[in-house]
Amino acid sequence: MRTRLIKIFVLLTVLTLFAAACSSDGGTTTTEATDGATTTEATDGATTTEATDGTAEDGPTEVSIGLVLSGVKEESWVSSMLETLNRIQAESPHGMTVNYEYFESIEYADGARVIGDLAASGKYDIILGHSLFGESVAQVNDQYPDILFAFSGSGNDGNSGDNAYWIDAYTHEAAYLTGVIAGMMTKTNKISGVAAFPTPNVNAPLNGYIAGAKSVNPDVTAKVTYLESWFDPTGAKESATAQIAAGSDIIYAEREGPWEAAKQHEGVYVIGHWSDESSVAPEVILTSTLALWDPAMNFLIETWYAHEAAGTPYDAPSDRIVYSMADGGCDIAPMSDLVPADVQAKVMEVKGEIMNRELEIPLNPAPIE
């Protein structure tokens, strides 16, 4: 009997510790949100709309954004979104205070539950699932008509409408510019990429990069390794090592890790992706493709503001909301001094053509053979 009690005690202790470790993942406790899954919160939202009915000019002074993240905030896909929010916070649209809170490492299977909990808590005006959370949002958005829901990235087709918005960032134009660097700088005429899965959001920038390289150097051949994992820096480094052994001297790091392989080989350079990654390996990173979520996020905030201040109904399009490079949807990070001046000049020239819409870079989401 006594041993059984001890056993139960030990198991409970482990589970409690685990629960404690889990709940602190996101910065705030999700348990609160679960408790609030009653109807009281729903009426909260209703009262705010009533209050704003009278005076349309007196808009809200504060907007709270809840972010559901599939990874952790340092992963470049995630950090590109957080950097956007930091910029919007500083810009303060309509003089509003912009607050955001994020919840990291949420499994897709838990998406609907977590997003539902956040909505029920009544603390958030905008809830964004940053990744394949389209279906999760579609399961809960009907119950909270005053909250603006959103999800981002490819693979979310068929889930937007009403108060559920689909935003995306196309980076192929900026990636094309990094390809110009690669095409001009490669000595072996072999360039490569290390990528996650062959999905449209992954393939499109790689195809842009290859097209950019071929535009300045038709002799270039390009190979891409798919890791079949969203996050595996060790595998990414190993893939890059194999690419270097096969003769490649410029590597597009669609995922974190390849720069560690480049550091060990003379004359091999890396291009970062999603966020500016130069700080992690300044000795080998030439530049980075930047996904700028700013126009899409500003659109969401404006839409929410119009709904709150003037009662404009939510009416999300069935297609994604996405902005080209000329409209501020992507860019490249400042180029490293490792990039020769003539190459930098060529990049700025091509960038100018894209920005004034003389040059159109086609979007090609096909996997690279």
Give the one residue of 28, 52, 105, 344 binding other proteins; rule: CB under 8 A: 105
E strands of the chain, at which residues?
Answer: 62-69, 97-103, 126-130, 148-152, 164-167, 190-195, 221-226, 250-253, 269-272, 285-291, 330-332
- Residue 10 interacts with other proteins (CB under 8 A): yes or no: yes
Give the closest residue to 115 by CA, choosing from 82, 80, 142: 142
Q: In angstroms, how far apart are the furthest CA atoms of the chain?
A: 81
Enter the DSSP assignment of 249: -
Give the one residue of 37, 112, 242, 309 binding other proteins; rule: CB under 8 A: 242
- Residue 152 interacts with other proteins (CB under 8 A): yes or no: no
- Residue 264 interacts with other proteins (CB under 8 A): yes or no: yes
Q: Which stretch binds other proteins (CB under 8 A): 77-85, 126-134, 150-158, 165-173?
A: 77-85
- Residue 14 interacts with other proteins (CB under 8 A): yes or no: yes
Q: Which stretch binds other proteins (CB under 8 A): 12-20, 121-129, 295-303, 317-325?
A: 12-20
Give the one residue of 163, 239, 287, 303 binding other proteins; rule: CB under 8 A: 239
Q: What are phi and psi of 34, to 5 degrees?
A: -65, -40
Rounded to the nearest 5 percent, the helix, strand and coil shares of the chain are 45, 15, 35
Give the whole-angstrom CA distance, residue 335 versus residue 345. 11
Give the whole-angstrom CA distance, residue 45 versus residue 40. 9
Nearer to other proteins, 145 or 235 (CB): 235
Nearer to other proteins, 82 or 164 (CB): 82
Strand order in the sheet with 148-152: 97-103, 62-69, 126-130, 148-152, 164-167
DSSP alpha helices (H): ranges in 92-191?
111-121, 134-140, 172-185
- Residue 282 interacts with other proteins (CB under 8 A): yes or no: no
- Do 30 and 104 touch, CB atoms closer than 8 A? no
Give the one residue of 38, 61, 234, 356 binding other proteins; rule: CB under 8 A: 234
**Contact pattern from residue 191 through residue 230 relative to other proteins, giving x for each residue in contact according to CB under 8 A and a dash for the rest:** -x------------------------------xxxx-xxx
- Residue 279 interacts with other proteins (CB under 8 A): yes or no: yes
Give the whole-angstrom CA distance, residue 134 versus residue 318. 12
**Contact pattern from residue 35 through residue 74 relative to other proteins, giving x for each residue in contact according to CB under 8 A and a dash for the rest:** ------------------------------------xxxx
Sign of CA dihedral 121, 126, 131, 136: positive
Q: Which stretch binds other proteins (CB under 8 A): 78-86, 106-114, 300-308, 342-350?
A: 78-86
- Residue 18 interacts with other proteins (CB under 8 A): yes or no: yes
Binding stretches for other proteins (CB under 8 A): 3, 6-7, 10-11, 14-15, 17-18, 20-22, 24-25, 27, 71-75, 78-79, 82-83, 86, 105, 192, 223-226, 228-235, 237-239, 241-243, 245-246, 248, 256-257, 260, 264, 275, 277, 279-281, 369
